[in-house]
Structure 1
Amino acid sequence: MVWIKFIVTAALIVLAANQLAKYGDVIAIRTRLSGMFIGVLLLAGATSLPEVLTSISSLQQNTPNLAAGNLLGSNTFNMFLLAVLDMANHNQRILRKALLKHALTGSLAMVMIGMVAFFMLANLDLSIGWVGVDSLLILGFYVVAVRIIQGNAAPAPQTQEEDLPVDGKLPSLRAGLIGFGLAAAALVVVTPIMVESANEIAVLTGLGTTFIGTTLVALVTSLPELVTTLAAAKIGATDMAIGNLFGSNMFNMFAVGLTDMFFTQGRFLAAIDPSFLLVAMLGLLMTGIGVVGNLAKLEKKLWVIELDALALILLYFGGMYLLYLRG
């Protein structure tokens, strides 16, 4: 019964998040913002909303490890999706096509993941109210990072999704905003039920909330990124597709700081299991490989997959196996 509840709620979350991304695209077209900027900010925020709501719900059910596993595990899964994107577009050199456009976003995501890992190790026992100073620094850096991206987003050639005609077939901006809000509301209702069932699965299987959060829950909350990324790549919007993944990693680390706002028993980073350092470092390594894949002129392929994409796949499954052994 618990597995049925988990699968049904997971499907509803993916459906609602896909609608969130769909109406986010409407907002992008109607406001005529750049594909890269929309991918990094609005789309990344929209598709990462399940992670945020799942983490907050996990705290309400007194399982901070599930919250941490969800956010840090989503980083690794997002980079795994880069490899999926490469295999789905094996006729193009998708990881090279973006060139330098996403090196800045990927680098800033690496800095934020590194900050989280550093603060987990440093264990700074400083708080303002109930919120840790480490979390406030993470939140502050995200704001700075967004300003840096915005300031360096030079006017780029219009991508295909931005060239779509704004006519009667496209919902209005008002309809886009209403649809976006309704999809977000549906996530707020369904997410706590999914988290409750994930907790029950962790107990029944004996795998614990650390492993379940990093794998099963992170997979469910990252499925919107998968669907949105493949859909964006299918219409040729590689800026939006890749920007969504790197931007989601930035937003996930912002969500770590945001989660601390809802954790009233102390500092959130001090409450989670030290084994999450492995997950954080795995996310850092994979994001680094993703950045290298955008910069390096690697011409070799192994069948239909580029070598850096293969490295992402091997790192992801190897890291999950190590986490399973530690659990």
Structure 2
Amino acid sequence: MALSVAAIVVGLVLLVWSSDRFVEGASALAYNLGVSSLVIGLTVVGFGTSAPEIMVAGFAAWNHNPALGVGNAIGSNIANIALILGVTALIIPIAVHSRIVKLELPILLAATVFAGLLIFNGDLSRWKGTALLILLFAILFWLVRDALNTKQCDIMAVEMADEIPGAMQRADAIKWFLIGLVVLLVSARMLVWGAVNVAQGFGVSDLVIGLTIVAIGTSLPELAASIASARKGEPDLAIGNVIGSNLFNLLAVMAIPGLLSPSRLPDEVLTRDFPLMLG
């Protein structure tokens, strides 16, 4: 049991570290190839900051523990709303930007309702996972096109673009991209192994472990970014961070178990966890 707990702790630390390196390398590489910062922010950084959840969901599904990945996605969203926004509000009052109310929040709400309708019968199949990913790419395409064609400031795009690192040589970018990717894979595998063993040792479900320990751990990068934004007097960026993260968790992370290990979801997902996240 001690080895499993150590695997969770070390896995989480390496997961957070490698996620940052992966985002830095991938973003710098894309920038060196002439990709605009807006596109990098909404795509490379968006997927990169959700890489811990995506990798964990992937390995969990590959090991036939899809409930761990689903719990991670839903639990991370709950942590983003309750923990991250709560901590941010304690540091500085949050004034919601009008564009967030008119654009970003409705998009997130629509995506949440769409995901809920897909899994309403309790099944997460390959076609449903594919549908979630298609919606994600459609939203990203629309957001990029809208942001490029308007002079208005998109909070979610600004928040993600703000995470793009400074100038980096192409060789260094490739190096950190590869190092980050390899360590991401290893640490995610380590975390899933430890989490499954702890769940079995304490007699709790993979879903519960995913909702709690794994979800909070993989939300730490978003928490750090939101605290930094609040300290700089930019709480609206923290909101953009949460909205972007929740969108990727719903449409990318939750799609992975459906694509790799289609299964019937535990009843608690529909009767307890998803309604709690939506509320």
TM-score range, shorter chain: 0.7 to 0.9
Return the alpha-carbon distance in structure 2 between the equivalents of residues 137 and 9 of structure 1: 31
Larger Rg: 1 or 2? 1
Corresponding position of 2:109 = 110
Q: Which has the higher contact order (CA 8 A, sep 6+)?
A: 2
The reply on whether 1:275 has 2:268 as its aligned counterpart is yes
Task: Give 2:151's aligned amino acid.
Answer: P
1:69-110, Cα deviation, whole Å (9 max, x unpaired): 01111111122212222223x2xx3342x3314752332222
Task: Give 1:48's aligned amino acid.
Answer: S
1:210-238, Cα deviation, whole Å (9 max, x unpaired): 21110111111111221233334445665
The reply on whether 1:94 has 2:94 as its aligned counterpart is yes
Secondary structure at the aligned position of 2:219 is classed as: helix
With the length of structure 1 as denominator, give the TM-score of the two structures.
0.70
The reply on whether 1:184 has 2:181 as its aligned counterpart is yes
Corresponding position of 1:121 = 120
Within 5 Å, which residues of 2 pair with 1:118-197? 118-122=117-121, 132-153=126-147, 154-156=150-152, 170-172=167-169, 175-197=172-194
Contact 1:161 1:237 in 2 (8 A): no
Deviation at 1:48, TM superposition (A): 0.8
Deviation at 1:151, TM superposition (A): 2.7
Secondary structure at the aligned position of 1:100 is classed as: helix
Return the alpha-carbon distance in structure 2 between the equivalents of residues 18 and 78 of structure 1: 18
Q: Alpha carbons of 1:86 and 1:174: their partners in 2 closer, same or farther (altered >3 Å)?
A: farther
Return the alpha-carbon distance in structure 1 between the equivalents of residues 122 and 206 of structure 2: 22
Return the alpha-carbon distance in structure 1 between the equivalents of residues 102 and 206 of structure 2: 33
1:38-63, Cα deviation, whole Å (9 max, x unpaired): 55443331111111110111122221
Corresponding position of 2:19 = 17
Q: Alpha carbons of 1:124 and 1:188: their partners in 2 closer, same or farther (altered >3 Å)?
A: closer
> Sequence identity of aligned pairs in percent?
23
Structure 2: stretches of 5+ with no match in the other structure: none
Q: Alpha carbons of 1:161 and 1:51: their partners in 2 closer, same or farther (altered >3 Å)?
A: closer
Return the alpha-carbon distance in structure 1 between the equivalents of residues 199 and 133 of structure 2: 30
Moved more, 100-109 or 134-143: 100-109
- Given candidates 51, 54, 57, the residue that maps to 1:52 is 54
Corresponding position of 1:289 = none
Q: Alpha carbons of 1:230 and 1:180: their partners in 2 closer, same or farther (altered >3 Å)?
A: farther
Deviation at 1:259, TM superposition (A): 3.1
Contact 1:72 1:280 in 2 (8 A): yes
Return the alpha-carbon distance in structure 2 between the equivalents of residues 281 and 160 of structure 1: 28
How big is the alpha-carbon RMSD for the aligned residues of Structure 1 and Structure 2?
3.2
- Given candidates 80, 84, 88, the residue that maps to 2:87 is 84
